[in-house]
Amino acid sequence: MDFEVRVAKSKENADRILKLGKEVEKTIFEGENPSIVLPVRGKRNVVWDKDAGLLSLGDSTSKRYFINVAHAKKFMQTMLVGAFSKQLLDEDIHASLREAFYSLKHTIKGSEENTFDEQKESDDVFVDLEVALAVLRDQLHINADRRGVAAGDVVIKDRGDLINWSKLGSGGWAIPGNVEELEFKDLNADFILVVEKNATFDRLHEDKFWKKHNCVLIGTQGQAARGIRRLIHRLNHEFKLPVYVFTDSDPYGWYIYSVIKMGSMNLAHASEELGTPDAKFLGLTVSDIYKYELRGAAIRAKDVDLRRAQEMLKYPWFKHKEWEAELNLMLKHKIKAEQEALAQRNLKFVSDTYLPEKIEAKNFLP
Amino acid sequence: MDFEVRVAKSKENADRILKLGKEVEKTIFEGENPSIVLPVRGKRNVVWDKDAGLLSLGDSTSKRYFINVAHAKKFMQTMLVGAFSKQLLDEDIHASLREAFYSLKHTIKGSEENTFDEQKESDDVFVDLEVALAVLRDQLHINADRRGVAAGDVVIKDRGDLINWSKLGSGGWAIPGNVEELEFKDLNADFILVVEKNATFDRLHEDKFWKKHNCVLIGTQGQAARGIRRLIHRLNHEFKLPVYVFTDSDPYGWYIYSVIKMGSMNLAHASEELGTPDAKFLGLTVSDIYKYELRGAAIRAKDVDLRRAQEMLKYPWFKHKEWEAELNLMLKHKIKAEQEALAQRNLKFVSDTYLPEKIEAKNFLP
C-alpha cells in the first residue's frame, strides 16, 4: 500500500476509535451511564449462513456498562485497548497480541488490582473492539502470529519493496501475520493451490509445479494462520481466482480446509474477511487411497479420527453427498493417509500425475 | 551453488554411496559376510568436547552384519536407504524423511514382511548413512522440515535466483529445510542476531533494527530447525560473524540457545556442521528482569522450569559462573519472563534500548 493510502487508512480507523471514545465521554458529561453494544460471541451466537457459505455471528447483542460491578473492569479494559490501538495507528507501528498484553498490563495506582491478569483477557477485548468497530484487528495494527510460505508468478509491494514470488529460490516468501498493507502489483496465475504440509510445498516447489501449471502455491504448515487465510481471501476476491485446497486425508486435514473456506467458530465475526467460500477440496480423499493404489501407505485411523468423522457428518456445512460418501468410507475402512503417501507411487507422482489429473477433471469436493 | 558445482558435489556424494555398495558386493563375491562399521549413537556415546565446545559422538563403534538374524533387516534397510539417496543425487531432486519413508515402505515379495513399518526406522537408517559416509544427510538430498525467517543486507543465490534479504517487505525470506546449495553472494553485517519468537522478529523487522545496527536478523520460531542451525553455522564460519542469541528467560529458551551453540544429543554426530560454538547468549537473563524493571511482566516459574534449571546446573556446558548465577537466581525467585515482556517498558524498548545497550556493553553469557 502506498504511504499516503496507508496513512489515510490508519487515520480512518483511528477516527473510528476516537468516535467510540467521544461517545463514551459525552455520555459521562451528560451524567448518564456509558455503555457499548457488542454482538454476543461464542458458540451459541454462531450461525451457519448457508447463502454466504460462512460461519457468522448471529443477531444477539449485549450491552456493556461502565457503572455496573460485573462490567466495570471489562469496560475499563475496552477503553485501554482502544487507546492502545489508536496509538499504534497514530505512530504507524504494529504489535502482536502478546506485546499488547504486556504493554497494557499494569497495577492500577493506589490499588492491588491489575488492568489485565491473563493475556486471554486482552485478546478477548481486542476481538470486542474489532467487532464493535467492524474493522479487522489487523487493520488496527494488531498482528497475528505468522506462518506459511508463498511461491508463484506474483509481484507484490510490501513496505516499499517490490517482491517477486517467483524469484525466491527454494525458500519462498514468508507470509507475515498481517497482510492488510501488501498490494498485488502483477499476477499471472489460473488458480491458487493451498497445501497443508511443508514437505508437499517443497516437493511441488522443486518440481516447478506452479510454473508448469500456472498457479500460486501457498503452504500453510498445518492449520492456516490468520495471515494465510486473509491472503487466500484477498487472492480469491481481488483476482477471482479459484482456490484448491490439498491436505492429508484425515479429519484434521478436512478441518483445515473447512476453516479456510467458511471460517471458524472462534473467529466467526471475521469470516467475511477471512473465509473463502469459493474454495474447493482437491484431496486427499479416502477414495483417492483406493483409486491411486496407496493402500500400502495408508494408516489405521485412530478413535479420535473416527469420532471427528462422526461429528463432521452432523455439521450442516459438510452435508453434501460427496462428503458424506467420503466420511462414511473412512468410518467403514477405518483408514487415513498423509499427502506424502503419494510418494509411494514415486516422488514426482503428486506433481506429474495426481494433481494434474484431479485439476484437469475438476474432481473436487464442495 | 552453480549448476556445475552442484552436479559435481552430487556426483561426489553419490560415488561415496556407490563405494559403500561396491564394498558390500565384493565381500559377498568373496564368500564373506558383509558388514558396515557404524559409530554407536545415543546418549551413552555422546561426549562433551570441551575444546571444540560441541556435543559430539564418542569412539564406540558397532558392526552391522548382513548374515546375522539380529542385523539382517537393518542391513537390508541400510542398502535401500543408500540406493534411495543415490537416486536422489543422480536425478538431482530432494525429498523429506517422510517422503523417503513412504517411497521405501513396501511389502517384500513372497512374504508378509515390510521393508519398513515405522518412519522412525528409516529416519534412523538415514542417520546411520550420514554417519557412515561422513556426509550430512542434507547433502544426500534429504530435506529437514522447514521453519524460520531471515532479513538483512544479504544477497544469496539459490536455485538460480538472486535473492536480496533486505527487499522482502514485512514477510522476509522463508528459510528452507536444506541450505546446502545456497550461496552467499554479498553480505554487509557486523553480527547475526537470532531471536526465538515471531513477534520479536516482527518487532525488530518493523523497527528496522537490522538496518540501524547492521546485522542479519534470523527468527527461529521456537526451537531452531536443522536448516536454521546450518544457516547460522555457515554465516558464522564463512564470514566470521559473531552470533548473538535472544530468547525468553526460561529453561526452554536457554535450551534453544544451547542447541544452536553446541548441538544436541540426538544430532551429536552432526554437531560440527550444525553447531556454532562461537554463539553468545544475549538475553533475556533473569537479572534482566530486575535490571530492566520487568517484574510486572514476569511469570511465576512452573515446577518443570525449576527442575530443568536444576538439571542445567549439572551440565558441564553450563558450568560457567555467569550461568550458575542466573540459574540460581531463577531457582531463588522462581520467576521467568518472555521476550515480549520488554513491551511493558514500551513497544520499541527492545529495539531502542535493551538490545543496543547489551550489544554495546558486550553484556553476553558464554
Work out the pLDDT band at B196, boundaries 50, 70, 90: very high
Instruction: Using CA coordinates, name the residue in chain B closest to A92.
Output: B206
Instruction: Using CA coordinates, name the residue in chain B closest to A150.
Output: B174
> Per-residue pLDDT tens for A96-138?
999 999 999 999 989 989 999 999 999 999 999 999 898 999 9
State the Cα angle at B199 between B193 and B203, rounded to 5°. 65
In this structure, are residues A314 and A271 in contact, taking their beta carbons and an 8 Å threshold? no
Contact B181 A170 (CB under 8 A): yes
Identified catalytic residue from A102, A290, A292, A354: A102
A299, β-bridge pairs:
A336
Question: What single letter denotes the amino acid at residue A48?
Answer: W
Q: What value of ipTM does the predicted structure carry? A: 0.95
Contact B103 A348 (CB under 8 A): no
- CA B82 to chain A, closest CA, distance in angstroms equals 16
Is-catalytic flag, B257? no
Of the candidates B158, B171, B177, the beta carbon closest to that of A158 is on B171
pLDDT at A39: 87
| Secondary structure of residue A266 in the 3-state scheme | coil
Instruction: Using CA coordinates, name the residue in chain A closest to B159.
Output: A169
Half-sphere exposure of B269 (CA within 13 A, CB side): 24
Per-residue pLDDT for chain A (366 aa), expressed as one digit of tens each?
Answer: 677 888 888 999 999 999 999 999 999 999 999 988 888 888 889 999 999 999 999 999 999 888 888 888 999 999 999 999 999 999 999 999 999 999 999 999 899 899 999 999 999 999 999 998 989 999 999 999 999 999 999 999 999 999 999 999 999 999 999 999 999 999 999 999 999 999 999 999 999 999 999 999 999 999 999 999 999 999 999 999 999 999 999 999 999 999 999 999 999 999 999 999 999 999 999 999 999 999 999 999 999 999 999 999 999 999 999 999 999 999 999 999 999 999 999 999 999 999 999 999 999 999
> What are the chain A neighbours of B156 within 8 Å (beta carbons)?
169
Provide the b/e sequence for B275-308 (b: ≥16 CB within 10 Å): bbbbbbbbbbbbbbbeebebeebbbebeeebbeb
**Quick one: which of A264, A47, A145, A187 has its CA closest to B147?**
A145
* pTM, two decimal places: 0.96
Domains of chain B: 3-143 (1.10.10.10), 149-360 (3.40.1360.10)
Residue of A202, A207, A209 to mutate, interface with B, max B Cβ within 10 Å? A202
Half-sphere exposure of A159 (CA within 13 A, CB side): 18
Identified catalytic residue from B65, B102, B290, B315: B102
State the Cα angle at B50 between B48 and B51, rounded to 5°. 135
> What phi and psi values does residue B331 have, to the nearest 5 degrees?
-65, -35
Helix B119-133 and helix B3-29, axial crossing angle in degrees, nearest 10: 100
